[in-house]
Amino acid sequence: MATVLILYHTTYGHTAKVAEHIAHTMERCGHRVTLCAVTAHPPVAAMAAFDAIILGSPVYQNRHWRTIQAFARRHRKLLNRTLSAFFSVSGVAASQRPEDHVVARKAVTRLCVATGWYPPQVAIIAGAIPYTRYPPLTRLLMRWFMARQGSDTDTRRDYVYTDWPAVTAFADGVVRNLEAVPLGGPQHT
């Protein structure tokens, strides 16, 4: 049984749901998972004791949240020597347009370059558009953006685009990586 720390940032709650899904998948495989917001992360010594660390962040205006960026930059040595993974949650990942998928990948690349953390496993996950919870200006901007993509624009309801089997596959991939490395040993260089 491995120990896994999942840290995430969420604004409207959907990234937390994705993190919970990953945690449940890993727990069903027999691993012990600690799940918390990145702002409530354990001390560095406690984090170093985990066999794997997974970070997750939503994307806003083609950037991941500063809290995740700051954490990854501050703890890049730990993240780079521990089995680590990253999941990026964005509305653009749900687009059918290939150029939008390029934008989603560029946001992840920008995070890696800015922080010096290069996770061996990354998932770009389609998120949700919670129109009913957005403030008015955000709702207007998101409606414009979604119309540009040819997607859902009814602001009286929320939309979830997440491919949950893909989220499970991401978690299963981390589990396979955990099982390939002796527990307590160096994860990767």
Is 185 part of any domain?
A: no
Instruction: Write the DSSP symbol of residue 135.
Output: -
Give 76-124 pLDDT, tens digit per residue.
999 999 999 999 999 888 878 888 889 889 999 999 999 999 999 999 9
H or E, element range at 140: helix 136-149
Give pTM, 2 decimals.
0.91
Same domain for 94 and 144? no
Q: Any bridge partners for residue 13, and if so which?
A: none
Model confidence at 189: pLDDT above 50: no
Is 79 part of any domain?
A: yes
How far apart are the C-alpha atoms of 115 and 86, rounded to whole Å? 13
Three-class DSSP category at 153: coil
Of 154, 166, 150, nearest in space to 99 by CA: 150
How far apart are the C-alpha atoms of 92 and 126, rounded to whole Å? 7
How far apart are the C-alpha atoms of 186 and 189, rounded to whole Å? 8
Instruction: Work out the pLDDT band at 183, boundaries 50, 70, 90.
Output: low
- In sequence order, the 6+-apart residues with CB closer than 8 A to the CB of 9 are 15, 37, 38, 39, 56, 57, 58, 64, 65, 67, 68
Same domain for 108 and 35? yes
Same domain for 122 and 47? yes
Same domain for 153 and 133? yes
Query: Which two tokens mark 46?
Result: 């406690």
Is 189 part of any domain?
A: no
Residue 87 is part of which domain span?
Answer: 3-127+162-180
Place of tokens 């720390």: 5
What does pLDDT average to over the chain?
92
Same domain for 152 and 84? no
